[in-house]
Structure 1
Amino acid sequence: MDPIQQTKEKWKGKAKTEVVGCKAEQVWPLLEDFFGLDKWFPTLSTCIPIEGISGKPGCVRFCAGFKTPVDEDGKQSLNWTKQKLLSINPIQRVFTYAIIDGNVGFYSYVSTVKVLPKDDGCEIEWLYEVEPVEGWKLEYLDFFIGNGLDVMGKRIQEAFKTMEDALGA
């Protein structure tokens, strides 16, 4: 395959995590809150609304948090993206968003997040595709999203356990 053709092929990946003891209908509202990702995703310190209403297609969030390696001047940059909600289906518990701007080198990034019921709880599935990212390998992106999703699932699970304990359930 010639190098020009190769650069047009997008990276694609999928990550999944189980949220034990939490039903899909309990977890969905936490993810449906498009402006609340920083409450759950470990490397984000900021997720604020830019435009629109959270959970409505067309709304845009600004996310920032994880840092890049130190550059030649000895400085670290805070990474940021603007993300637009493209579609959402609360009945099927699925939404799709795209990164529309940022300093992380993610071009044509589109992601679909689903909350799927399971016998002992639910599963969060995160599908993504992006043009190859300069300085990264697909395995790095797989690890970043997969690890982040696992931590997110644990945080959600612990939040429900804390709430149940507080209610004496």
Structure 2
Amino acid sequence: MADYDAEKMWEGAVSAKLTSCRADQIWPLLEDFFNFGKCLPGTIDTCYGIEGISGQPGCIRYCAKTSISDDGSGEMTTIWANEKLLAIDPDRRCLSYSLQENSIGFKSHMATIKLLPLGSQEQEGCEVVWSFTLKPIEGQTIDHIVSLYDSCIQAMAKHIEDALQVKSNE
């Protein structure tokens, strides 16, 4: 692949604007590190803590997705990752984590999720920014990785807005 260079790190960021949700409404969902799968239903089937206390740096979660293999065999395959919380800042509403062992092929992977207010008033919604740095993956392109992150953040934003809308109507 043209942009594969094992010496260079890939960096990227994706974002989604949530106009009907405030950062203070969304933050509790993100800071619950062991239950991140609730933000990405359909993308993550399983998410739970395997070490430490959720929300405290050093804790590790297991995330997985099981699906039917693309090879036509009908067999179930599971992609998984152990993710370690590196830092969390409730005041700035951001957290950073790294992938440890995983079946995805990511090596030296670190990501940060931040909530940023839209406009000068927090009542005007917020933007979720998900940035990452990782070693290139042979056979992949940075554009493909950015596309994967973008589809995840768009799905997450829609799910969060829908869930918070239902909750406010109860």
- The structural deviation recorded for 1:68 is 8.4
Distance (Å, rounded) in 1 between the aligned partners of 2:167 and 2:97: 30
How many residues get paired?
163
- The structural deviation recorded for 1:75 is 4.2
User: Deviation digits for residues 77-111 of structure 1, max 9, x if unmatched?
Assistant: 21000000000100000110000101111000000
- The structural deviation recorded for 1:21 is 1.5
In structure 1, the partner of 2:103 is: 103
Name which of 129, 132, 137 aligns with 1:133. Answer: 137
Distance (Å, rounded) in 1 between the aligned partners of 2:21 and 2:77: 37
Distance (Å, rounded) in 2 between the aligned partners of 1:109 and 1:161: 33
In structure 2, the partner of 1:29 is: 28
Where structure 2 has 5 or more consecutive residues not aligned to the other structure, the ranges are none
Distance (Å, rounded) in 2 between the aligned partners of 1:101 and 1:21: 36
- The structural deviation recorded for 1:26 is 1.0
Determine if the alignment matches structure 1 residue 60 to structure 2 residue 64.
Answer: no
Determine if the alignment matches structure 1 residue 11 to structure 2 residue 10.
Answer: yes
Please tell me the root mean square deviation across aligned C-alpha atoms, in Å.
2.0
Distance (Å, rounded) in 2 between the aligned partners of 1:148 and 1:50: 23
Aligned partner of 1:163: which letter?
K
- The structural deviation recorded for 1:141 is 0.9
Determine if the alignment matches structure 1 residue 121 to structure 2 residue 125.
Answer: yes
User: Deviation digits for residues 91-143 of structure 1, max 9, x if unmatched?
Assistant: 00011000010111100000011011114201100000111112221111111
Determine if the alignment matches structure 1 residue 43 to structure 2 residue 43.
Answer: yes
Alignment CA distance shift 1:155-1:95 (3 Å)? same
Contact preservation (8 Å) 1:70, 1:76: no
Aligned partner of 2:7: which letter?
K
Q: Normalised by the size of structure 2, how large is the TM-score?
A: 0.88
Q: Percent identity?
A: 35
Alignment CA distance shift 1:48-1:10 (3 Å)? same
Q: Normalised by the size of structure 1, how large is the TM-score?
A: 0.89
Distance (Å, rounded) in 2 between the aligned partners of 1:97 and 1:68: 28
Distance (Å, rounded) in 2 between the aligned partners of 1:37 and 1:81: 13
Distance (Å, rounded) in 2 between the aligned partners of 1:68 and 1:60: 27
Contact preservation (8 Å) 2:11, 2:133: yes
In structure 2, the partner of 1:77 is: 77
Where structure 1 has 5 or more consecutive residues not aligned to the other structure, the ranges are none
Distance (Å, rounded) in 2 between the aligned partners of 1:140 and 1:68: 21
Distance (Å, rounded) in 2 between the aligned partners of 1:39 and 1:18: 19
Contact preservation (8 Å) 1:43, 1:148: yes
